[in-house]
Amino acid sequence: MSVTGLRPRREFGRTVATDVTYRLRQEIVGGKLPPGEPLRFDALRSSFGVSFTTLREALTALVAEGLVLAEEQRGFRVAPISARDLAEVTDARVLIEVEVMRRSIEKGNDDWEMGVVSTLHRLSRIEERAVDNPLNDPEWNAAHRQFHEALVSAADSQTLLAIRATLFERASRYRYLSANLRTQPRDKVGEHRAIMQAAIARNSDLAVKLIERHIRSTTENVKKYAAHRLVSD
């Protein structure tokens, strides 16, 4: 089992369980804990130096996110990746993303526009420096998430945004597969810029069309280049 081995930090506004949840999520999303890997309490407790109660709380949170499976009498394991899960996550993301994008464009003010533009600028600068796969760069991952969050930040629905955030994390596993295995380069800089331009121009129809294409492009890449990694349903 590959685990960070780093001891959790207690940060303001964060519990130890939240910190462990975050670290485990990153291990799963990045593929360090592969699909189907048993998550054994003794190994995790040794790596993180926390109680069984804290580990159970963290793993239960990841079960709710669809990243971990809880099996009766068998404990926890990393959720598999499959063609069905990929399709369901993709369709759910499109439904939610389109809705919150439309709401955000309708309700967003000047500050919202500035947030979208500035987060894209930061992301673009990081991408210029990332000569290899940017998904391996934590700074890029943070900037990428912030840009997509900025686009929908004016949607004014905490419930929809929470669902969107969970789906975004679940899709990260497939983004890693797509980025690491595809043989053709993808102009993500251009895709992000086109989405930003449509959004701040208040062209909702074009913006949602572009964001759907952006999401589904990853799915098509996984199906094309990583089908052998997907378990049968």
Average pLDDT over residues 20-34: 87
Question: Which tokens hold the place of 225?
Answer: 């280049």
Query: What per-residue confidence (pLDDT) applies to 169?
Result: 87
> In whole angstroms, what is the distance from residue 75 CA to residue 21 CA?
17
Q: What is the pTM of this model?
A: 0.81
Instruction: Please classify residue 199 by burial: count the beta carbons closer than 10 Å to its beta carbon, then call 0-12 exposed, 13-18 middle and 19+ buried.
Output: buried
> In whole angstroms, what is the distance from residue 140 CA to residue 30 CA?
13
CATH number of 83-229: 1.20.120.530
Residue 86: which residues within 8 A CB-CB, separation 6 or more?
A: 174, 219, 222, 223, 230
Summarised one tens digit per residue, pLDDT across range 47-61 is 888 888 999 999 999
Residues of the chain with CATH 1.10.10.10: 16-78
Percent of the chain at pLDDT > 90 equals 52
Query: What per-residue confidence (pLDDT) applies to 133?
Result: 65
Instruction: Write b or e for each residue in 110-131: b if 16 or more Cβ atoms lie within 10 A of its Cβ, otherwise e.
Output: eebbebbbebbebbbebbeeee
For residue 115, pLDDT beyond 90: yes
Percent of the chain at pLDDT > 70 equals 90
Rg of the chain in Å (alpha carbons) = 18
Average pLDDT over residues 150-156: 97
172/214: higher pLDDT:
214
Residues of the chain with CATH 1.20.120.530: 83-229
Residue 174: which residues within 8 A CB-CB, separation 6 or more?
A: 81, 86, 89, 218, 219, 222
At the second CATH level, the architecture of 16-78 is Orthogonal Bundle (1.10)
